[in-house]
Amino acid sequence: MKKHNFNAGPSILPREVIEQTAQAVLDFNGSGLSLLEISHRAKDFKPVVDEAEALFKELLDIPEGYSVLFLGGGASLQFCMVPYNYLNKKAAYLNTGTWAKKAIKEAKAFGEVDVVASSAEANFNYIPKGWTVPQDVDYFHYTSNNTIFGTEIRKTPEVGNVRMICDMSSDIFSHPVEVEKYDLIYGGAQKNLAPAGVTFVVVKNDSLHKVDRVIPTMLDYQTHIDGGSMFNTPPVLPIYTALMNLRWLKAQGGVPEMARRAKERADLLYSAIEDSKIFVPTIADPEDRSYMNICFVMKEEYKELEPEFMTFATERGMVGIKGHRSVGGFRASCYNALPLESVKALVACMKEFENK
Ligand SMILES: *Cc1c(COP(=O)(O)O)cnc(C)c1O
């Protein structure tokens, strides 16, 4: 049976990208050696990092003066690296969910944190509006896509002259980004770019060195800019897969095409949920709804059918649609590599269940 992969992360990658990775594991560039057994400084591997960085810049339309880094530690390490490198006195954070909360917790160890708004009181089922960012902060941090709760900020927030830092783990390359407004953009690659093990960082070169504290070498972004992501051994396998995926992205038409597909998938699924008699979206305002992680539950009067639908959908090849425990219900993650056919299959499955 065909599987439809709605996993939230690690998650779906294009089949050909997985095949290319498998091939390189067996024989890297016809060298007779596996990608897993060559030096990261080998003359063949350096071009992999260089091309991945160049394609990243090209596809995200990154202006001059920025570096793209491939690091270890996950997005979670960035929660601490960001304030280590940028928080002198005070930073502003928007609290839109679990990941934002974790970033806020880390920042508090380094200075004053002004939480400009939060939707915690409503279990993060909307994006707060009408907040302002104090102009005396070192930076403003937000999460563009809330993977767990299914909300997303696709438009660049209005924050005056304050520099922005954003966690784009789960919606990178799914919509255009005005990179010039950011000092730093980061994310774990395992949602929308590569397998687990690599973290991408887009950093403005001249935004660093504004804090007084001593920064441990490995946690200092400058180390990795100077080292070209090779200060220590980088995660070679996920970087290789990221490169294959970036090539795939470009061949498909780049970010504009990914944005079009994301909207097409989301429109189809959200309208099916809204038209349904038994399902309801967890995010009421269409403006706030994530195109990447589409969350829905059963209406109160049908609530007890949720486990039955899980079994029904699983039997029809749907994978990973169980909602996060903090939301319940269902979550269909529709990342860049997810074909429209998978969304159509899920919609058909929902209709079949409803008719039954
Ligand atoms: C998954 C996720 C994280 C955590 O990423 P790790 O690489 O596991 O540390 C952080 N932020 C967002 C938005 C995520 O979706």
Q: Residue 243 burial by CB count (10 A; 0-12/13-18/19+): exposed, middle or buried?
A: buried
What is the residue with the minimal CA distance to atom 7 of ligand 1? 74
Beta strands in the chain (DSSP E): 4-5, 66-71, 90-95, 112-118, 140-143, 145-146, 151-152, 164-167, 182-188, 199-204, 279-281, 293-298, 318-319, 330-333
State yes or no: is 191 an active-site residue. Answer: yes
Tell me which residue of 112, 106, 96, 116 sits closest to 158, measured CA to CA.
116
Q: How far is the CA of 190 from the centre of ligand 1 (A)?
A: 8
Both structure tokens of 172: 């990178």
Question: Which ligand 1 atom is the nearest neighbour of the CA of 146?
Answer: 13
Give the model confidence (pLDDT) of 129-146 as tens digits: 999 999 999 999 999 999
Provide φ and ψ at 280, rounded to 5°: -145, 140
Tell me, in angstroms, the distance from the centre of ligand 1 to residue 352's CA. 34
State the catalytic residue, choosing from 138, 171, 191, 204.
Answer: 191
- Find the 335 Cα to ligand 1 centroid distance in Å: 14
Mean pLDDT rounded to a whole number for the chain: 97
167, 171, 220, 288: the catalytic one is 167
* Segment 59-86 mean pLDDT: 98
pTM, rounded to two decimals: 0.98
Encode pLDDT of 234-279 as tens digits: 999 999 999 999 999 999 999 999 999 999 999 999 999 999 999 9
Question: Cα 197 to chain center, whole Å?
Answer: 14
